[in-house]
Amino acid sequence: MRSLTIKNLKKKFKNVNAVDGINIEINEGKMIGIIGRSGAGKSTLLRMINRLTDPSEGSIEFDDTKVTSLKGRALRKWRSECAMIFQQFNLIERLDVLTNVLIGSLGRNYSILNLFGIFSKEEKISALRNLERFDLSEKALQRASTLSGGQQQRVAIARALMQNPKILLADEPISSLDPKNAKRVMDDMRKINREDGITVICNLHSLEVAKRYCDRLIGLADGKVVFDGSPDELTLEISKELYDLDND
Amino acid sequence: MTDKDITLLHPKIFLPLWRRSPWVIIFSLITVLYLLFSINYFNFSFTQLLQGFGRMKPILRSMIVWNDFLSWNFNSIAIGMLQTLAMAFLGTIAASIISIPLGLMASRKVIESSLTRFIIRRFLDFIRGVDILIWALIFVRAFGLGPLSGVLAIFVADTGTLSKLYSEAADNADNKQIEGLVSSGSTKIATLRFGLMPQVMPIFISQSLYFFESNSRSAVILGIVGAGGIGLQLSERMKAQYWDQAFFIILLILIMVAIIDRLSRALREKFIGE
Amino acid sequence: MTKATAENHNKELNRLLNKRRLWNFFLAIIIIIGILLSSSVVDVDSSRLLNGLPRLGDYISQILPQLDSQSLFLNSQIEGSLSYWYFNLPKYIKLLFETFNMALLATILGSTFALLLSFLAARNTSPNSFLYYLVRRSLEFFRGVPEIIFAILFVWALGIGPIAGIIAMTLHTTGSLGKLFSEVHENSDNKTREALKASGGNWFSEMRFGLLPQVLPNLISYALLRFEINIRASTILGFVGAGGIGQELYLVINFNYYEEVSAIILMIILTVVSIDLFSEYLRKNIIEADND
């Protein structure tokens, strides 16, 4: 079984350590929730795994690949294997849903034709299949901006699946959604975790949601791991400490 | 579901490209055809072009290598620069002053008669349709060579544009302040002075500053037709093929324009910011 | 409101008013000094201005056509007819067509180059900072030098004719649009670019999908504005031999073919105004389609 190993990872912004010496090992196929207050370093951690942000110190390894020293083509290959979805969905609002999903394939097999908006039949079929899984294939030719927030986030998940990822990183995926849509998105993420065996690492602000959906929770405070275990092990005291409830 | 089922379910997606987005194809085709037409129309020949650029090599060299730098006539260059600045300044000030009444008369907030507005607006369109260099040429005919013709050219060309911008600013002014004065029985003049002017004055000033900035660019070329300023120095040197001195003047112009850009941006922020 | 706060309020108001008055005063002084200095540099003396005005009046009345309402629609042999005034119309139309094509071609070429370079010249999209610096500074140079100066240079190198004018306008257009485009890129939202990057897309797909769809309406609108400017510019490039109707205008003004001056200027105005209107209509539609 492959695993993601993070060793002594640090990130400094000016003089503040956003992430301050994190050590974790994550096995393939699990659904991991990263919890903590805003500013605890959750987002920075996720962005470093995808290498959108470069760490100041430490290493990230996946299987035998040393992720933190990848460059150029190898880096782009890694990014396509570890898909990411965002709080604001980050879809191209002016383009149709189908193209938004097709864009996920650019990291795997890129051709100059793609730049003219031309994609192969196989890619289109696979994009439609991915949309179909989330009941969105009817909307394939609509502009992304006409969709609701929940639908947009599920399009983003379909785009992520186009990358054939091994890991899905979700940075506060439900923070901009109402409860009903949030549930739908979380259900869909669990679905791809269970059915496709994709490791899901998910930043969550809500402890309730994290407990309900995740196999394992990692609690961050001030850039350090303060909790690592199954949802059952998370006591009231630790969660108070995580969210700094006493000081509020 | 098989692949076939999916293609049948979404027929539109699997149409050939020209059926899916015909306009893109047509537009690209027109562009390509137009480019081919232009090559033919202008007798574009690449060998001629290459020859021409070959001829430019010594020019490019002399632009960078300045041999007799110390013997250049810096005095005339300095006077030329000053003249250009002065022309831009006077032209802008004069145009700004005349544009206040003209702009207000072209605004529906001030003049109810649509015929008057129509006439003034067409008159302004007419002025704007003529490039500043054409105005300069005409004034050189009437007033002779020299910077005075340049000032007048800037004045006329700017009046066309500034008046239009001023009238748009007046059109966009807030009605409440004007109505307040009208309802309290103010005269028309008082309404304009206290209801409209305080609103539009900062915009007017900021636009005039912007025009001073752009005029310091356009004043540079007026010398080409003999209307004074640094352009005269520049075009004379280009005609005599003193490319090194010409390039030096171009650099000076760029520096001058950059400095004015900075100053005017700072001032504009001051006025709009308040 | 108590009396004390009302007084404070008044004080504050007075202070602001005084500050404003001071500013206006300061501004007025600067303008007056500027006018005095500039007048001494430019040598504006009122006698020259006054002597020139009647001459300007004479000149204008000379260039205006002597139209005769009786013979307005008679043939070009008869003085006072429209066709006498416009006896050279076929030539003007040919030259205006050339002028139009120069502007259009330079706009197409210039905006294409500007688009390609703008990605390198925007701080947030440039692949490396040296390239950014180099491209940005070159664009600023080409933007700073007026097209007619380039035209003089190219007329010298390539000979008299529209090609020199087209190249000159293309260079200037590349510079000014390139700078504007890269500023649009810099003000764009980086979320979609980030999504492209996170999915392993390379720089080209990041630009094409992450940035271009977002900024395209803006870029087209700027290119159309530039086309309007280029139409004006191409009417004067002929003054230095770089093609278009300007060459003919320069000739008739200098040789005092009076009525032809007004004939050409009127045609230029009609062309410029109608293209402005058309382009304005297009720009409005693009912005409206964008807001759908």
End-to-end CA distance of chain A: 43
Q: What pLDDT sits at residue B272?
A: 64
C227-266 per-position pLDDT tens digit: 999 999 999 999 999 988 999 999 998 888 888 888 999 9
Least confidently predicted of A132-136, B83-87, B107-111, B206-210: B107-111
- A125 contacts B3? CB cut-off 8 A: yes
How many angstroms separate the CA atoms of C253 and C259, rounded?
10
Percentage of chain B with pLDDT > 90?
Answer: 18
- A140 contacts B13? CB cut-off 8 A: yes
How many angstroms separate the CA atoms of B232 and A206, rounded?
72
The model's confidence at residue C82, banded by pLDDT at 50, 70 and 90, is confident
Using CB atoms, list chains with 3+ pairs below 8 Å to chain C: A, B
pLDDT of C23 above 60 = yes
Q: What pLDDT sits at residue C136?
A: 93
- A107 contacts C201? CB cut-off 8 A: yes
How many angstroms separate the CA atoms of C185 and C208, rounded?
12
Token pair recorded at residue A107: 């990291």
C129-144 per-position pLDDT tens digit: 999 999 999 999 999 8
How many angstroms separate the CA atoms of A167 and A30, rounded?
10
Between the CA of residue A145 and those of A58, A100, A205, what are the distances in Å? Answer: 40, 11, 26
- Among C108, C92, A35, which residue's Cα sits nearest to residue B33? C108
Whether C160 and chain B come into contact, CB under 8 Å, resolves to: no
- Among A43, A52, A168, which residue's Cα sits nearest to residue C198? A52
pLDDT of B256 above 70 = yes
Task: Enter the DSSP assignment of B194.
Answer: I
A160-186 per-position pLDDT tens digit: 999 999 999 999 998 888 889 999 999
Average pLDDT for C172-194 = 93
- B133 contacts C236? CB cut-off 8 A: yes
Between the CA of residue B171 and those of B164, B200, C191, what are the distances in Å? Answer: 10, 10, 38
- Residue A62's DSSP bridge partners are A4, A65
CB contacts < 8 A, A to B, total 23
Residue ranges and CATH numbers for the domains of chain B are 3-64 (no CATH), 73-273 (1.10.3720.10)
- Name residue B183's amino acid: S
| Predicted ipTM beyond 0.90 | no
Q: What pLDDT sits at residue C2?
A: 60
CB contacts < 8 A, A to C, total 73
**Nearest chain C residue (CA) to A99:** C209
**Cβ-based contacts of C275 with chain B (< 8 Å):** none
Q: At what angle do helices B132-143 and C246-254 cross, to 10 degrees?
A: 10
Query: How many residues does this entry show for chain A?
Result: 248
How many angstroms separate the CA atoms of B162 and B138, rounded?
21
Which phi and psi angles does A22 have, rounded to 5°? Answer: -100, 135
Rounded to a whole number of angstroms, the distance from the CA of A80 to the nearest CA of chain C is 4
A227-240 per-position pLDDT tens digit: 888 888 888 888 88
- Residue A66's DSSP bridge partners are A61
Task: Enter the DSSP assignment of C209.
Answer: I
Whether B6 and chain A come into contact, CB under 8 Å, resolves to: yes
Q: What pLDDT sits at residue A99?
A: 92
C residues 98-137 closer than 8 Å to B (CB):
101, 104-105, 108
**What is chain B's mean pLDDT, rounded?**
85
Task: Enter the DSSP assignment of C75.
Answer: -
pLDDT of C173 above 70 = yes
pLDDT of A31 above 60 = yes
**Nearest chain A residue (CA) to C291:** A94
- A81 contacts C199? CB cut-off 8 A: no
Query: Whole-prediction pTM value?
Result: 0.87
Are the C-beta atoms of A61 and A2 separated by less than 8 Å?
Answer: no
pLDDT of C170 above 90 = yes
Interface residue of C188, C189, C192, C218 to substitute, partner A, most A CBs within 10 Å? C192
**Where is mean pLDDT largest: A112-126, B187-201, C60-74?**
A112-126
- Name residue B109's amino acid: K
Rounded to a whole number of angstroms, the distance from the CA of B3 to the nearest CA of chain A is 7
Query: How many residues does this entry show for chain B?
Result: 274
**Cβ count within 10 A of residue A77:** 14
Q: What pLDDT sits at residue A246?
A: 52
**Cβ-based contacts of C38 with chain B (< 8 Å):** 85-87, 89-90
- B10 contacts A140? CB cut-off 8 A: yes
User: Residue C172 CA to chain centroid, in angstroms?
Assistant: 11
How many angstroms separate the CA atoms of A112 and B239, rounded?
48
Between the CA of residue B18 and those of A103, A118, B106, C107, what are the distances in Å? Answer: 21, 11, 49, 27
Task: Enter the DSSP assignment of B100.
Answer: H
- C273 contacts B125? CB cut-off 8 A: yes
**Cβ-based contacts of C250 with chain B (< 8 Å):** 137
In the block, tokens 């002014």 appear at B173
Are the C-beta atoms of C220 and C286 separated by less than 8 Å?
Answer: yes
**What is chain A's mean pLDDT, rounded?**
88
How many angstroms separate the CA atoms of C196 and C205, rounded?
7
Average pLDDT for B216-227 = 86
How many angstroms separate the CA atoms of B149 and B87, rounded?
9
Which residue would you say has higher pLDDT here, C9 or A44?
A: A44
In the block, tokens 């409440």 appear at B176
Token pair recorded at residue C65: 């056509």
Token pair recorded at residue B155: 């004045």
Strands (E), B116-231: none
CA dihedral sign of residues A164, A170, A176, A178:
positive
How many angstroms separate the CA atoms of A192 and A173, rounded?
15
Strands (E), chain A: 3-13, 16-27, 31-35, 57-62, 65-66, 82-85, 167-171, 199-204, 216-221, 224-229
Average pLDDT for C43-54 = 78
C83-122 per-position pLDDT tens digit: 778 888 889 999 999 999 999 999 999 999 999 999 999 9
In the block, tokens 């129509």 appear at B118
In the block, tokens 């005409």 appear at B138
Give the CA dihedral C231, C111, C223, B159, nearest 10 degrees: -50
Average pLDDT for B27-55 = 89
**Nearest chain C residue (CA) to A92:** C192
- Name residue A61's amino acid: E
Give the CA dihedral C144, C149, C150, C153, nearest 10 degrees: -150
How many angstroms separate the CA atoms of B52 and B54, rounded?
5
**Cβ-based contacts of B12 with chain A (< 8 Å):** 141
Q: What pLDDT sits at residue A248?
A: 43
The model's confidence at residue B274, banded by pLDDT at 50, 70 and 90, is very low
Rounded to a whole number of angstroms, the distance from the CA of C110 to the nearest CA of chain A is 21
Question: By CB neighbour count within 10 A (0-12 exposed, 13-18 middle, 19+ buried), where does B270 fall?
Answer: middle
How many angstroms separate the CA atoms of B183 and B178, rounded?
9
Average pLDDT for B244-254 = 89
The model's confidence at residue B116, banded by pLDDT at 50, 70 and 90, is confident
* CATH class, range A3-247: alpha beta
Average pLDDT for A193-218 = 90
Residue C177 has, within 13 A of its CA and on its CB side, a CA count of: 31
Pairing, β A199-204 against β A31-35: parallel
Q: Which of B6, B12, B17 sits opposite A125 (nearest CB)?
A: B6
How many angstroms separate the CA atoms of B171 and B108, rounded?
6
- How large is the greatest C-alpha to C-alpha distance in chain A, in angstroms? 57
Token pair recorded at residue C5: 């706060």
**Where is mean pLDDT largest: B105-109, B204-208, C272-276?**
C272-276
Domain boundaries, chain A: 3-247
The model's confidence at residue B34, banded by pLDDT at 50, 70 and 90, is very high
Instruction: Give the angle C196-A217-A30 at the CA atoms, nearest 5°.
Output: 65
pLDDT of B69 above 80 = no
pLDDT of A245 above 70 = no
Whether A141 and chain B come into contact, CB under 8 Å, resolves to: yes
